[in-house]
A and B are shown apart, each in its own frame.
Chain A
Amino acid sequence: MSRIIKFLILLSSLSLFGLELSKQPEITKVGKVLYPKTMKSSKKEGKVKLFINLTSKGKIKSYGFYKSTDKSFESSIKKGIYKFKFSSAEYKDIPISVKLIYTYNFKLDNSADNTKIDKVKSNKWYKKEKKAIDKRSKDEALTRPKDQDKRSKDEALTRPKDEDKRSKDEALTRPKDEDKRSKDISTAVSPTKKEIAKKEIVKKEIVKKEALVLTKNPILKRFVEAKYPEELRKQEVEGIVTLFIDVDENGNVKNVGVIKSDNENFNKAAVEAVKKFEFTPAEYKDKKVPVRITYQYNFVIKDKKEATKEEIKKAKEEKTAIIEKADYESIRGVILGYGNREPLSYVTVRLISETDDEFETVTDENGKFLFKNLENGDYKIIIDPKDKYLGYETKENIKKGKLVNIKISLPQDLLNPYELTVIKKKAKKEVTKETISVEEIMKIPGTNGDALKVVQNLPGVSRAGGLSGALIIRGNNGLDSRVFIDGHFVPMLYHFGGLTSVFNSELIQDVSYYPGNYSAKYGRALGGIVDVTTKKLKTKKDRKNIHGYLDVDLIDTSAMIDIPIDDKSAVAVAFRRSYIDTILPLILPDSMNDVARALPVYYDWQLKYDYNFSKKSQLSFTHFGSSDNFELFFDKPVGDPGLSGEFSMSTFFIDNIIAWDYKINKKMKSKFSMGLQYLSQKFKISDFIDINGLSYITTMREDFIYKINKDFTLNLGMDNWLAWATYEFTVPDSMPNHNTGETGSLSDYGRIYDKNSMFYFLPAVYTELISEFGQLRLITGLRSDYSSENNRLTLDPRISAIYTLNNKLLFKGGIGQFHQPPQDYQTDRKFGNLDLKNQYSIQYTLGTEYRFTDFINMSFELFYNDQRDLAVTSTKKVIIDGEIVNENFNNDGRGRAYGAEIFLRHNMSSKFFGWISYTIMKAERKDHDWDDWTLFRYDQTHILTMIASYKISNGWQIGTRLRYVTGSPKTPIVNSIYNADSTTYSPIYGEPNSVRNDAFFQLDLRVDKIWQFETWMLSFYLDIQNVTNYANQEGVSYNYDYSESSKVEGIPFFPSIGIKGEF
């Protein structure tokens, strides 16, 4: 296969040309369009490029603008557009809807010729109507009486000779564009077009737009010529066979079928040849995906006479010689986005010569494009406006054989950030996994641009009360779900009060959220997993410029700079600090300012360095840390005679992760990574609670992927933790009941103290086999964990299956076991129980996903989480080594959570994006088998989140979020008892978790405005939380003896503004 033919196929595959119209639409009347007064007075000319959707009757159904010299020209077009008249387009002589590309020129001397249509394209109505016409034709053909064929033949025989002549004349007077259409392949490559046109077989490929827009189209890399059927050649019969080709994720042809054919005797030859084709894999978001493409195989006889094999060979050699001789670069370019100067990939670049020959190419992943073999002359370089960027046009003079380098800065359509916000991958491993692409979700209301806060809006995530930053997934305890960064455990996801996350959103590639039935790759969590993948930095090979930003809002300031060092390495640094500590004193009463020794303050920082040894081998180092600190000091006791002095909380951690990705060969890939974490936590409430913990945790992972063949992939890995921890604590001698939320007065308890150092080792190995059986994908996994704290070895089998019925509907289900070691304090040598077993859950998920349209899809899941051996407090005495001791904790606890989740999403269209997430669930606990089930404190029957975002225009965008959540259960206080030892009252509780807080309702609003400049961008946002100032109940506050109570209300109407400069 010669390179020129490959190029030809590439070009044809990336365009949507070739409407098979039997009659082109025309402008029959140019409507009166007034010249804008302002433009006229300033003597300015201009043009407006627009698209018009025509009905099959030639009426205007809708229209829209691509670009214009000035908005006032657009206004004039709007007023006059419906005065235009068109003749209808026809397909197989039947009127059909089409989309027109039309440019209206405004000339001051009225010399503009506005009667020509630029281009005719298909649209959704065209596709539907065409399908209907084809079906009707087929049906008619099947039901046509046999004698009709004969009649046609007879008609031909009896047709007057002048009719033949008329046909010839028609051909001579045929519109030019029709001629152009017939030679579209040959005009795609300039220098050799004539030679190629002479070839016996011409091929044309159309890649249909799939439901999801591919980021990389498949390119035919191996073409096999079809054997021309001898009989047909002798009869000089030519024809086209339209086929569908199923190309798998490796670019291999899996299945071929004939859609239609001019002559069924061509079919076999075409199918046999196409089966031997090879393509480059199609990609969607950098992942290889299988696609179905439509391909037309044209059987054309050269000069209407049989060519010998020798002639064909000779022609091929001649053509190759010409091509190779003429192979030189003409235009090499790169397209960068306005503002952040990020390379724009997959942008279609059109080139039009003086003779109206048109060429087309697409930028690669680094925003680069290349045109070769251009003749002398002026060329227009045109980029048509698309969803993600605005249009562009320039002119270049080309001299044959000389290379022109150009750089294009393309204004981006920045208010289209939500496209594919949450991606459901086709080839996924987990039953439930939502992957969030961070670039696209920065403007969801109520999140202050924090990508990780979006997790709180996904199905299955309960609302943690008040300002708590706990991550509550499917009714599990906050400590039962884990957060990872690049597969390594981090102690927390959000800063104090859940205000913002601990990792900069700009350094995040995506956030994967697994509410349950997660892969064997992960473990040590009874609930769900959130895994944050850091961004792969761009080296100078991919981007020359430094990228950075400064973001200032009412809560904190953050900054980031990303520097490509050379072709192999890049570094990025980010920092954020809150200034609540400087703002709060202005709004707090004086009495509070007296006691606030250190008001809430947080900061975090990140450093990332990437080094690419080669395409196969990459190293990355990520260093990050976070600090939260809060300290109050009360001179006099508050609420409790013992409660005075210091109230403080601080969490500080530093994490270092080094990862090495190595692609061993086409089938094997390895990722080895190590993390070293330093974690310091301090909590103090007067003299009653004083906890100081310090730990060094080393984590080590190996994730090895072996693709056995196209149907089987084996994942193997290890996931080890090695930790040394020391802690010192003074805590009440009886812990509050976690399940019911009972607290009581701290003065009611005695205090215990301990200081201990411990070393523990948590190694784990896993294996996972992904098997493809046609439409069924089966994932079987096995994970084994050991925990040295309590000397337990566990084995977790997991299985899940995904059955893809068709490209719209799939079914999925999974069952698996998930173990979690006890918390540190539960295995304390004095006050814990070293004999505790690991807690475990058996999780079941069953669901379906359905894609309604290209934009709207839905998933529905049922889940059941059966939790066993939960660690609960115990007052029993047990005999250990012959000694009677307190048991403190045992594994008698049970838990269960079950429910359903619906996630209905509308991906970003040109204007709108939104989703509805609804969960109905029940979560229950009991301390012993013989107890009755009681509601768990995170049971929230209904969790509804609705998000919508609408692009207005001129850089404005508005978004809203609405949340409704059933109030969390709580245990009522029915009376109180006076403790004369401490002079405090202790509550007397009613039935555990038998009442609820009021339901939570909140409406948030966000408005964004972006100003775009060539080298930087400025954005402003207003984010208002609780627009309706709804008084949400976050808890109950009692008076001193619990005889009176009132609601503790959450965030009132809370506006926040921010401004961000980005370069």
Chain B
Amino acid sequence: MKYFIILTILFILLPSCGEDTKSKANKVNKLEVLAIKVDKPQAHPGDVIIANSLVGHPEDYSNEFHTIWFLCNPSDNSGFKSCMSEDGIIGLPTIDNNEFHFTVPADVLSQGAKNKKLYILFTICEADMQKCQDTMMNEAGNGLESDLFRFSYKTVEIVQDSMPIMNHNPKIKSIYLNGEELTSSDISLKARENDKENNKNDNIFKAEVTSDSFDEIKTPKGEKDFESIVLVWKSTLGDIKYYYTDQKHDEKLSDLDENPFNTALKSEVDTYHIYIIAIDNRGGVDWKVLNITNEK
């Protein structure tokens, strides 16, 4: 265990020491799933649940792709692992729909069980439908090793009817740009002249979730605490500095929450996007998309 920890620390530190040329999480540079939201992260058997997805791609993206929704009910207590095979898949897939509706099976909880996790699988296939089907069949029925597929999942916790549901989805209340609260998601920013201005950091973003988004939780030790909300930032062009910022329940926004942003180059496209996704510890999700226009 000790060496595992040491290695983990080193692996975190080592990339910090040298220049890492690999693509960063805070840049949308290919077709990818950015978030999945369900209206009820906690539900009772028989409830109807609606799921939505946020898919991002580079501004000049033009390939054909298809989306597929599944519901997975793991057959044992191996968790999400059993969803990697066909064993836990229930129901027919929903294809190319932004929304996924399903009814939680009434018998999902085995006798005596207080709760169970269901998994919503959302997969993007970056090809025409025929190729997607062929690849999935050739890859032992799941296409796990094919780079055509982008897999993602979202957990829904099913609890006994007798237990209360504790959904408390976070809400992104305000977004600030250079200290000013944005009133619209369409904003205009001065385009960058050249790469050398990369570190100029003219634009400072902050995002704030509503104060009632924070739930009281218990730590693993059993102590009382409040959850913190994590904010994920991604941009299709330009450079947003941090992939994550976080907000504590009793803290007001401060310098620590600032996320500097370097705008896109003048030579790049006129319009691009910043995605801000808030998640809490109970599966609650909210997102905002900013549409930015280059001021030339």
Contact = CB atoms under 8 A, between A and B. Distances in A.
A46 interface: no
Contacts of A497: 6
B3 to A, nearest CB: 5
Contacts of A643: 12
B22 A1044 contact: yes
B104 interface: no
B232 A983 contact: yes
Contacts of B164: none
Interface string A628-655: 0010100111110111100101010000
B94 interface: no
A306 B80 CA distance: 107
Interface string B158-171: 00000000000000
Contacts of B232: 641, 983
B24 A1040 contact: yes
Nearest to B37: A980
B36 interface: yes
A588 B16 CA distance: 9
B36 A980 contact: yes
B172 to A, nearest CB: 14
B25 interface: yes
B9 A685 contact: yes
Given A636-B246, A1044-B22, A978 B3 contact: no
Contacts of A591: 16
B279 A1037 contact: no
Nearest to A491: B2
Given A649-B6, A990-B145, A1044-B22, A980 B17 contact: no
Binding site of A, secondary structure by majority: helix, strand, loop or mixed? mixed
A751 B10 contact: no
A468 B6 contact: yes
Contact of B22 (A478, A496, A730, A1039): A1039
A467 interface: yes
Interface string A602-637: 000000000000000000000000000010100111
Given A468-B7, A649-B5, A981 B220 contact: no
A638 B8 CA distance: 12
Given A647-B12, A649-B6, A979 B244 contact: no
B272 interface: no
A1041 interface: yes
B152 A974 contact: no
Contact of B11 (A687, A751, A1039, A1048): A1048
Contacts of B151: 975-978, 988
A469 to B, nearest CB: 8
Contact of B10 (A466, A753, A976, A1044): A466
Given A466-B7, A636-B244, A736-B4, A983 B35 contact: yes
A980 B35 contact: yes
Given A641-B232, A1041-B25, A689 B3 contact: no
B154 A592 contact: no
A1040 B28 CA distance: 12
B22 A983 contact: no
Contact of A978 (B8, B32, B219): B32
A1044 B23 contact: yes
Contacts of B245: 636
Nearest to A1045: B22
B4 A743 contact: yes
B14 A1048 contact: yes
Interface string A728-745: 001000101000000100
B9 A647 contact: yes
Nearest to B23: A1039
B221 interface: yes
A752 interface: yes
Contacts of B244: 636-637, 641, 644
Binding site of B, secondary structure by majority: helix, strand, loop or mixed? mixed
Nearest to B41: A981
A638 B15 CA distance: 11
Contacts of A637: 230, 243-244, 246
A468 B11 CA distance: 12
Contacts of A1048: 11, 14
A1035 interface: yes
Nearest to A644: B246
B150 interface: yes
A1043 B147 contact: yes
B29 to A, nearest CB: 10
A589 B78 CA distance: 43
B145 A983 contact: no
A983 B24 contact: no
Interface in A303-336: none
B263 to A, nearest CB: 22
A592 B13 contact: yes
B84 A988 contact: yes
A1046 interface: yes
Interface in A863-887: 875, 877
Most buried by A among B2, B80, B144, B222: B2
Contacts of A988: 84, 144-145, 151
B106 interface: no
Contacts of B147: 975, 1043
A497 B2 CA distance: 11
Most buried by B among A644, A980, A1048: A980
Contact of B153 (A470, A632, A651, A980): A980
Interface string A665-697: 000000000000000010101010101000000
B33 interface: yes
Nearest to B222: A753
A632 B9 contact: yes
A695 B4 CA distance: 21
A825 interface: yes
Most buried by B among A647, A875, A983, A1035: A983
A743 B79 CA distance: 16
A744 B267 CA distance: 39
Contacts of B246: 636-637, 641, 644
A982 interface: yes
A434 to B, nearest CB: 25
Contacts of B146: 975
Interface string A684-716: 010101010000000000000000000000000
A1043 B24 CA distance: 11
Contacts of B153: 977-980
B242 interface: yes
Interface in A561-606: 588-589, 591-592
Interface in B36-71: 36
Given A641-B232, A683-B1, A974-B145, A1039 B152 contact: no
B256 interface: yes
A630 B5 CA distance: 12
Interface in B214-245: 219-222, 230, 232, 242-245
Most buried by A among B9, B151, B244: B244
Contacts of B22: 1037-1039, 1044-1046
A470 B5 CA distance: 13
Nearest to A467: B10
B250 interface: no
A1041 B25 CA distance: 8
Contact of B155 (A467, A635, A981, A990): A981
Contacts of A635: 256
Most buried by A among B76, B77, B144: B144
12 contacts: A639-B12, A641-B232, A643-B12, A644-B246, A649-B5, A685-B8, A751-B220, A753-B222, A978-B153, A981-B279, A1039-B23, A1039-B25
Given A642-B230, A730-B221, 12 more contacts: A592-B16, A641-B246, A689-B5, A748-B80, A875-B78, A980-B152, A981-B279, A983-B277, A988-B84, A1040-B25, A1043-B30, A1048-B11
The 9 closest A-B pairs by CB, nearest first: A1040-B25, A753-B220, A978-B152, A980-B36, A1039-B22, A977-B151, A637-B244, A980-B154, A641-B230
